[in-house]
Chains A and B, each alone.
Chain A
Amino acid sequence: ETGVTQSPTHLIKTRGQQVTLRCSSQSGHNTVSWYQQALGQGPQFIFQYYREEENGRGNFPPRFSGLQFPNYSSELNVNALELDDSALYLCASSLRAGGADTQYFGPGTRLTVL
């Protein structure tokens, strides 16, 4: 158990809809990162938030957006869902945004877009 939780566990949406995924970090962790993992592939970095500000973004379009709240929770929002957005979405928290800090992963949210 990493102390990082995600909700919901599974989600089914249709193309064009919007979705919000939630993550609760370990207490005291100021940094949260989101990753997308397509079936059979390694996770791909979406973006990172540090102290409620975006701190870097991967190669994902603006319809992927996020929020981080003072209570160590965060959200990933995806607008205008596409079939290729079907994946396991993972969040990871760490104490700081520094390169040496270990990230602790949640169990993920499985999103299916029909």
Chain B
Amino acid sequence: KQEVTQIPAALSVPEGENLVLNCSFTDSAIYNLQWFRQDPGKGLTSLLLIQSSQREQTSGRLNASLDKSSGRSTLYIAASQPGDSATYLCAVPRIKAAGNKLTFGGGTRVLVKP
């Protein structure tokens, strides 16, 4: 059974500081790993998807790394802004199962203070 853990559960930083969000998973047999953003009471917005063959993926101020052998992914957000305040979730397709059903971590709730 795949288990996904995100630490810390909550994070508060001053504006301008870099954010480092961690995600760990128990089984390295994954197709890919996806990072999502969720604003309060809203749906999920996909930020980055890293294929299992990749080591990192970048989009603007966001950079995600993947180390399958150690079961870890890290999302870096450079020069944080108050608009980055949200919950960030990582997810992997469920292993040894057909299809792309996702197992999610519990999320990291981020507050960027002006």
- Measuring CB to CB, which residues of chain A are less than 8 angstroms from any residue of chain B? 2, 6, 31, 33, 35, 40-45, 48, 50, 55-56, 58, 88, 90, 92, 94, 97-108, 110
Contacts of B98 in A (CB 8 A): 55-56, 97
Query: Whose C-beta in chain A lies nearest to the C-beta of B101?
Result: A45
Query: 0/1 per residue, B95-114, Cβ < 8 Å to A?
Result: 00111111111110000000
Chain B residues with CB below 8 A from A102, complex form:
34, 46, 49
* Contact residues in B for A107 (Cβ distance below 8 Å): 42-43
CB atoms of B89 and A42 under 8 A apart: yes
Say whether A42 contacts B93, CB under 8 Å.
no
Closest B residue, CB atoms, query A47: B101
Q: Which A residues are in CB contact (< 8 Å) with B104?
A: 35, 42-44
A8 → chain B closest CB, angstroms = 14
List residues of chain A with CB within 8 A of the CB of B83: none
- Of the residues B36, B43, B51, B97, contact of A100 by C-beta under 8 Å: B51
